[in-house]
Structure 1
């Protein structure tokens, strides 16, 4: 009987001691979390504990803290991007609107000649068309980035699609005195994507290249081991690595002096469309050459 009593006391002391340490460690975790929640520290929870299950809990808490910090950083980045987008769109709307209103006041004058009146009307029309393009691009981007944006995924023969799109830019190349250099493989290259979305991506990339290129534009299509890659290359000595980092931001224009030459949304639209099709669009500099690369994984 005495033996059982002693054993019971030892067992009870063991569990009481274990409970004491567990409660102390729980209190330590609580204190650390309290400091984090009160923004008194950004230090993670200690991993060394008497109880292994508490170590696992601390590890999961730390992972959740990492996720929360990443979400907070993404939230701040998105907020800053939104603020910049609002500032940019306000500027891009205000500039032609001010011009339109100014010339409308001129048009109200009875002293204008027919030539002056026609000139001012042309300026007002151009300003209105610029506003129309800006609002259409902004609306298109917002639709593309919505979760329910419709895509019709089908087999597309890029060897045929690229020349079809390129023909539509003949006059634009001619006006800039540029020549498109088309490099297509002999074999047929097929991808799974949305035909209209791929055309829109190509149109935006070609428009960007023609507007800002310092020389001829090269369009190269190639089949790689696990992907299909389309590269549009053009001389762009004015660009820097800093420009590439911001290239796909909404309204970003590397050349700030090109007022009225575009909305700054074309590359953002192309990037969003590529993501929707599970593809990727990147930009890189090789010397003075800007390389815009579209990549589709698989067939």
Structure 2
């Protein structure tokens, strides 16, 4: 691989040195003949020192010219790249360099520099969007808590109003806690450098445990569950996968109507397990389905009170960490289906 990458640059230097030596010999021979014809120097043992001095001077002049050519062709673009890298280090990601260079290796270097700057610019944009989104998501529940705390300071409140305000303050605090926990989990997953801690556990039992945990949310809606959960064991991170089912089932509950039906189906093959979560609630528009796993993305503004846009991002990160895949199909008339595929082995 090294030979392939550096061969053209090596050939360039060898050719440059060879041509320089040939040119130096020809020019020096021609100069020597010219000086002899003009009888400036004459053949003889006493003229060796003069010939050597002329050759040395001529070599210095020619070598300086060759060094200048090499500097112009190779070192000048590298100096330009160095200056641009210094600007990038200061946070300027708008720089681009001309990728059309006479030497392929230098051209590749410039091309990689442009690719790097584009990626850094994209990461900086994502970082700014993430900070803005986090700030916005924290601001909403904090404003809610602050508003109801101020209302509680009034003296003419009925017991029912006091209880209602306290309930809303608690909901705001729970929303903040959920947001904080999801951000911490996402950060931990994205920065993880060690393999997940895995154990073997009953996947079907875990999904049933999540249903029982969320019972206070789905019972008031009188949601009916169609469960196809045969006994299946899986080797993975039990705590993280619990968060996957928690977020997906919670979504199904939030967007289902009163007396709705939600189906959970677990199937398997020799290579993978697949869990499908099917609800018949409000669907996701086709143009938004590709972005439902993006951080803080909530296409339908009417749903913003139902979550903070991190649940499905967390689902994707956890499933990816298990080398699996998560996908969604949806229509506004037939509901939504989330598929989680986890490899066995």
TM over 0.5: yes
- For residue 266 of structure 2, the aligned residue among 221, 227, 249 is 221
1:283 aligned to 2:342? no
Aligned to 2:61: none
Residue aligned with 2:290, SS: helix
Larger Rg belongs to:
2
Aligned to 2:157: 112
**Contact map agreement 1:141 1:269 (CA 8 A) in 2:** yes
Residue aligned with 1:260, SS: helix
Aligned to 2:238: 195
1:206 aligned to 2:252? no
**Distance in 1, Cα, partners of 2:159 & 2:245:** 42
1:94 to 1:171, Cα distance in 2 relative to 1, 3 A: closer
Q: CA shift at 1:216, angstroms?
A: 2.7
Aligned to 1:248: 293
1:179 to 1:115, Cα distance in 2 relative to 1, 3 A: closer
1:117 to 1:203, Cα distance in 2 relative to 1, 3 A: closer
1:250 to 1:107, Cα distance in 2 relative to 1, 3 A: same
**Contact map agreement 1:181 1:217 (CA 8 A) in 2:** yes
Cα shift readout 1:83-124 (whole Å, capped 9, x = no counterpart):
223222222222232232233333323333444334333333
1:147 aligned to 2:185? no
1:68 to 1:153, Cα distance in 2 relative to 1, 3 A: farther
**Contact map agreement 2:227 2:263 (CA 8 A) in 1:** yes
**Distance in 1, Cα, partners of 2:273 & 2:70:** 55
**Distance in 1, Cα, partners of 2:117 & 2:226:** 45
Paired residues, number: 276
Within 5 Å, give how 1:288-299 maps onto structure 2: 288-299=334-345
**Structure 1: gaps (5+ residues):** 1-11, 47-53
Normalising to structure 2: TM-score of the pair?
A: 0.64
Q: CA shift at 1:203, angstroms?
A: 0.9
**Distance in 1, Cα, partners of 2:156 & 2:210:** 48
Q: CA shift at 1:194, angstroms?
A: 0.9
Cα shift readout 1:246-289 (whole Å, capped 9, x = no counterpart):
21222222321234322221111121222222222233336844
- For residue 130 of structure 1, the aligned residue among 175, 190, 197 is 175
CA RMSD of aligned residues (A): 3.8
- For residue 121 of structure 1, the aligned residue among 151, 159, 166 is 166
1:132 to 1:226, Cα distance in 2 relative to 1, 3 A: closer
Structure with larger RCO (C-alpha < 8 A, sep 6+): 1
Aligned to 1:163: 208
Aligned to 1:178: 223
Q: CA shift at 1:150, angstroms?
A: 7.1
**Distance in 1, Cα, partners of 2:157 & 2:208:** 48
- For residue 275 of structure 2, the aligned residue among 230, 239, 263 is 230
**Distance in 1, Cα, partners of 2:289 & 2:244:** 18
Normalising to structure 1: TM-score of the pair?
A: 0.72
**Contact map agreement 1:33 1:45 (CA 8 A) in 2:** no
